[in-house]
Amino acid sequence: MFTVTISPRALEDLRWFRKAEQAAIVAAIKEQLAHQPDEATRNRKLLRPGHLTEWELRIKEARAFYDIDREASLVTLVAIGYKQRNKLFFRGEEYLP
């Protein structure tokens, strides 16, 4: 079982969402990342090198970006944003890598 931690940036990102969305995001994170967070599924995917993090979790329009420390059994949420079409946004501003 993995321990899920949230970075200060991701916490601020989460606060940007409405309360109902926050609850859905937190519930999905707990459900999806506590067990086998490094297994690709329909909602979890390994990102190519050079991205914000190693992994992405899709929660409806929201996206949770996280890294995994397998030795420590630790998942760290780095950022939480949302997608509109092909554009990624954090706190209402488009993300441009």
Q: Is 61 exposed, middle or buried (0-12, 13-18, 19+ CB in 10 A)?
A: exposed
- At 14-39, the pLDDT tens digits run 999 999 999 999 999 999 999 999 99
User: Is the separation of the CB atoms in 4 and 72 below 8 Å?
Assistant: no
- At 7-16, the pLDDT tens digits run 999 999 999 9
- At 43-69, the pLDDT tens digits run 999 999 888 899 999 999 999 999 999
Backbone φ and ψ for 50, nearest 5 degrees, come out as 95, -5
Query: What pLDDT was estimated at residue 18?
Result: 96
Residue 96 token pair: 């441009």
Query: What pLDDT was estimated at residue 4?
Result: 96
Residue 29 belongs to what H/E stretch?
helix 19-33
Query: What pLDDT was estimated at residue 42?
Result: 95
Confidence of residue 77 (pLDDT cuts 50, 70, 90): very high
Domain boundaries, the chain: 3-94
Query: What pLDDT was estimated at residue 51?
Result: 87
The residue count for the chain: 97
Query: What pLDDT was estimated at residue 50?
Result: 84
3-94 placed in CATH 3.30.2310.20: yes
Residue 93 belongs to what H/E stretch?
strand 93-94
